[in-house]
Structure 1
């Protein structure tokens, strides 16, 4: 799969026939909302775990020294909490470019806090993409994140802002929280 997934997403998941789409945010979409939305509310998806296993060549790192950002990994019984944004299909012209580094979008069941379920669109970077870094020890990932930088800034800022956003949402993530503790220690 190519690093730039814009064309693949537009071809594989056309949205023009829809009036609106629910988008599930679980990473930087929780704290960097640079797109218009019609509605936003907390939501979760089942069977997916948030992990810092995706390389970032275009935002939090460079092609020569990629940073680490989150993707979702299939994990039975896991619940990933985030935010659902109801957006118009034209919003994806921007989002597809923002999430182009190996992320493919697809629909999955999403549950709001009141128990209502809808189909939501989510971006996931699988191990089939060239930027996938995969698992490593928390110590290795923390060191990698603490010292990576890219056009969008320090990789550590991405992690720490995500950790803060999840705490504010009332849905801390153990993987993110442990990495944040280690990165803060490395940066002191």
Structure 2
């Protein structure tokens, strides 16, 4: 039966992944579903001082920006509340938790409220928009404790393609970074 539920049922909540949470699930989950949120778009506008770059040379990672009329597809995970300790640490570099409605695409519940991590303008790691070639050069040359910034981008682009999700911002950066690094798609 389809319906609407709260983001919390006792000690559980839904978390929406739109970036590395799509392909790097390093936490226990109770359930998963393909999901979508409306009015938000992925952008490589957030700095990464702790994973894909360093404090002296931050990499570029995703955040969501408000974009009326846009739909962002990702993966929703049902988790126990204790998982938020891990997620808060993982998303600590300028991200805040938001609660937004999600459309569940392959689940018995059609809509629910979920937790989403968003880094907004004004946070200490914010890099903001830049010309696409500048962002590609930045990503192609950045590296941090979690590895090359380009690997984050490529793994995300591949995960989106596997889900038949078209994201021109991600795909254009992926093409340009691969070209800069002499890699094929």
Equivalent of 2:76, from 53, 63, 84? 84
Give 1:16 shift.
9.3
**Structure-to-structure mapping, 1:140-159, within 5 angstroms:** 140-159=134-153
- 2: distance between equivalents of 1:169 and 1:109? 21
Contact 2:29 2:80 in 1 (8 A): yes
Give 1:128 shift.
2.0
Q: Name the TM-score, length of structure 1 as normaliser.
A: 0.90
Runs of 4+ in 1 over 3 A off after TM superposition: 15-18
Equivalent of 1:63, from 40, 46, 55? 55
Instruction: Return 5+ residue gaps in structure 1 as ranges.
Output: 1-14
Give 1:71 shift.
0.0
Alignment match, 2:176: 182
Give 1:113 shift.
1.3
Contact 2:8 2:14 in 1 (8 A): no
Equivalent of 1:39, from 15, 24, 31? 31
Alignment match, 2:3: none
1:104 aligns to 2:96 (yes or no): yes
Give 1:172 shift.
2.4
Instruction: Return 5+ residue gaps in structure 2 as ranges.
Output: 1-6
- 1: distance between equivalents of 2:93 and 2:8? 23
Contact 2:34 2:74 in 1 (8 A): yes
Higher helix share: 1
Give 1:18 shift.
3.5
SS in 2 for 1:53: strand
Aligned length: 174
What is the RMSD computed on CA atoms of the aligned residues? Answer: 1.5
107-116 or 45-54: bigger deviation: 107-116
